[in-house]
């Protein structure tokens, strides 16, 4: 999926973004209570200096469609 990295661990977040990869915040939640960990994903992205342009979840639908068409 067009170079998207799903963070499992935060340790390489900054290097991932510096190498031009896009990221997506994903919580493998199997029930509603599992969404409580979402802030950890946000902290991971912040630790890696991710900006809105780097996080696929923050993109407008049109941009996602455009990126998918390229690949």
pTM (predicted TM-score): 0.69
- Tell me what the mean pLDDT of segment 9-30 comes to: 78
Look at the block and give the residue holding tokens 């963070």: 7
Close Cβ partners of 40 (under 8 Å, ≥ 6 residues apart) = none
| Per-domain residue ranges of the chain | 4-70
DSSP 6-70: E-SSSTTHHHHHHTT-EEE-----SSGGGGGGHHHHHHHHHHTT--GGGBGGGS-HHHHHHHHHH
Element (H, E) at 71: none
Instruction: Give 31-61 pLDDT, tens digit per residue.
Output: 888 778 778 778 888 888 889 998 888 999 9
**Which is nearest to 5 in space by CA: 16, 15, 14?**
16
């Amino acid at each position: 999926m067009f170079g998207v990295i799903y963070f499992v661990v935060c340790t390489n977040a900054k290097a991932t973004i510096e190498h031009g990869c896009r990221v997506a915040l994903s919580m493998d939640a199997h029930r509603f209570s599992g969404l409580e960990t979402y802030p950890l994903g946000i902290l991971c992205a912040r630790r890696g200096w991710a900006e809105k342009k780097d996080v696929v979840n923050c993109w407008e639908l049109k941009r996602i469609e455009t990126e998918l068409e390229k690949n």
